[in-house]
């Protein structure tokens, strides 16, 4: 079996798993008055729906790949030391979900020794499935997608997330927010980093930045942006966006303009 065929199989598995988790979210979304909500930390919540969606995702992955490692937001790491690791967010946008705001998704990605290999993001409210594999482009359903290329930063619509769980860096974040507010045509804060990255990959947003993130928030979305022709780094321009907690994603020209802002705002 060729490497391309194997990668395509991984991409299909990511889609299948994301759809399984998304079906749980779709079924449970109107039950907000009956949700059991727990606080994991400061402004960080989990519901039984997160866990039910994760169980559905993990079951699909385990059925296909019992020897792969899995890093999932609500579960302990499984099969440590495996060459391939799935990174799962069963409900990105939990606070939205709890409040009945229809902006959330399931994010499933796979990494190997060379980095992100395959991934999918499913938005169950709009029925949109974003998918990518390394070297295979980024797709929304059957349509290939690409990052936008605004003629200037003053035409750009940016997306971000407020660092409610990392208030110690709020002053630096607000410096970046002010600079981008003065630079761009608009800024949106929807409450799901994975969806923000997917929408950046398909050109609805022109760029995205955020701090205080975990690998499951960004893994699939980062691959989508890269395969859609964009650049993904941390806010210093380095490669540590997956585990470093910060991310900056945009088409090449806008990424350079945004990076000039974040390097100043978040620099020591």
Instruction: Collect all residues with Cβ–Cβ distance below 8 Å to 46 and sequence separation of at least 6.
Output: 37, 38, 40, 74, 94
Q: Write phi, then psi, for 248 (nearest 5 degrees).
A: -140, 125
Q: Strands 69-72 and 157-160: what pairing?
A: unpaired
3-class DSSP assignment, residue 202: coil
pLDDT for res 34: 65
Question: Which is more confidently placed, 90 or 4?
Answer: 90
Closest CA to 129 of 141, 138, 142: 141
Tokens 């395969």: give the residue: 227
Q: Where are the beta strands (DSSP E) in the chain?
A: 37-41, 44-47, 69-72, 85-92, 105-112, 115-123, 128-133, 138-140, 143-145, 157-160, 186-188, 207-211, 231-233, 246-250
> pLDDT (tens digit, 9 = 90+) per residue, 210-234?
999 999 999 999 999 999 999 999 9
How does residue 189 score in pLDDT terms, banded at 50, 70 and 90?
A: very high
pLDDT of residue 75: 72
pLDDT at 5 over 80: yes
- Range 54-82 average pLDDT: 85
Q: Is the pLDDT of residue 76 over 60?
A: no
Domain assignments of the chain as residue spans, ordered by start? 3-145, 153-266
pLDDT band for position 85 (cuts 50, 70, 90): very high
Does the structural domain 3-145 have CATH classification 3.30.540.10?
A: yes
What is the pLDDT at residue 73? 77
For the residues 138-152, what does the mean pLDDT come to? 96
- The pLDDT value recorded for residue 43 is 45
Res. 81 pLDDT band, cuts 50 70 90: low
Residue 264 and residue 209 in contact, taking contact as beta carbons nearer than 8 Å: no
- Compute the distance between CA of residue 248 and CA of residue 262 in angstroms, rounded to an integer: 9
Task: Please say whether the beta carbons of 121 and 195 come within 8 A.
Answer: yes
Q: What is the pLDDT of residues 102-142, one digit of tens each?
A: 999 999 999 999 999 999 999 999 999 999 999 999 999 99
Structure tokens at 114: 């060379």
pLDDT > 80? residue 32: no
Would 3-145 and 153-266 be classified into the same CATH topology? no
Alpha-carbon gap, residue 120 to 3, rounded angstroms: 19
Among the listed ranges 67-76, 147-156, 179-188, which one has the minimum average pLDDT value?
67-76
Residue 159: is its pLDDT beyond 70?
yes
Is it true that domain 153-266 has CATH number 3.40.190.80?
A: yes
**pLDDT (0 to 100) of residue 171:** 95
Average pLDDT of span 57-81: 84
Name the pTM for this structure: 0.93
Mean pLDDT for the chain? Answer: 92
* Interatomic CA distance for residues 134 and 111, integer angstroms: 10
Task: Quickly state the pLDDT bin for 82 (edges 50, 70, 90).
Answer: confident
68, 98, 192, 256 from 33: Cα distances, Å: 37, 9, 21, 45
């Amino acid at each position: 079996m060729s490497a391309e065929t194997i990668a395509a199989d991984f991409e299909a598995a990511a889609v299948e798993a994301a759809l399984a988790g998304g079906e749980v979210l779709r079924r449970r979304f109107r039950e907000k008055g009956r949700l059991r909500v727990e606080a994991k930390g400061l402004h960080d919540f989990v519901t039984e729906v997160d866990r039910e969606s994760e169980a559905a995702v993990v079951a699909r992955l385990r059925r296909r790949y019992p020897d792969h490692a899995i890093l999932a937001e609500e579960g302990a790491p499984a099969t440590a030391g495996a060459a391939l690791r799935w990174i799962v967010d069963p409900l990105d946008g939990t606070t939205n979900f709890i409040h009945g705001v229809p902006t959330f998704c399931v994010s499933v990605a796979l990494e190997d020794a060379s980095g992100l290999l395959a991934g999918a993001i499913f938005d169950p409210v709009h029925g949109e499935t974003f998918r990518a594999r390394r070297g295979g482009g980024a797709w929304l359903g059957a349509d290939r997608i690409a990052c936008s290329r605004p003629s200037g930063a003053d035409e750009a619509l940016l997306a971000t997330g407020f660092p409610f769980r990392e208030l110690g860096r709020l002053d630096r974040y607000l410096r970046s927010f002010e600079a981008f507010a003065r630079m761009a045509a608009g800024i949106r804060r929807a409450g799901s980093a994975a969806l923000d990255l997917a929408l950046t990959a398909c050109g609805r947003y022109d760029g995205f930045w955020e701090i205080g993130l975990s690998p499951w928030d960004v893994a699939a979305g980062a691959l989508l942006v890269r395969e859609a022709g964009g650049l993904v780094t941390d806010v210093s321009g380095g490669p540590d966006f997956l585990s470093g907690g910060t991310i900056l994603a945009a088409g090449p020209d806008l990424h350079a303009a945004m990076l000039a802002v974040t390097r100043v705002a978040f620099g020591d």
